[in-house]
């Protein structure tokens, strides 16, 4: 089953269909994360000062946006805010590494 063949959640009738949908969704999430980390590479290229990589105000804004969006969708907002915190921290670490690599 390729990504275009999976069923949407409400259309699943078997666990095989559910698993195929989860796997397709995970691949799509990874593609989106690849793009997100591409933006971190761009930020590392654009920011001239290493200290500009960590922006606590922006971090809080991103996490709050995720929490609010999750809440609107009826998803577990606190758990997803924690995932976003981890994602932002991983992004900052990646951007720091890229910042150093570019300027090495």
Specify binding-site residues for substrate.
Answer: 19, 36, 47, 95
Provide the token pair at 5: 């063949």
CA distance 13 to 101: 49
**To which residue do tokens 């990874």 refer?**
30
User: With 0-12 CB in 10 A as exposed, 13-18 as middle and 19+ as buried, what is 91?
Assistant: buried
DSSP state of 74: T
Comparing CA positions, the residue from 70, 95, 94 lying closest to residue 83 is: 70
Residues of each annotated binding site: 19, 36, 47, 95
């Amino acid at each position: 089953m390729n990504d275009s063949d999976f069923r949407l959640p409400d259309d699943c009738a078997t666990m095989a269909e559910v698993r195929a949908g989860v796997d397709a969704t995970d691949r799509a999430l990874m593609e989106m994360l690849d793009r997100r980390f591409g933006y971190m590479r761009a930020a590392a290229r654009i920011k001239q000062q290493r200290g500009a990589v960590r922006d606590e105000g922006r971090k809080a804004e991103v996490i709050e946006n995720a929490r609010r969006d999750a809440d609107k969708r009826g998803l577990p907002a606190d758990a997803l805010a924690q995932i976003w915190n981890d994602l932002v921290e991983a992004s900052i670490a990646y951007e720091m590494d890229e910042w150093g690599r570019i300027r090495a």
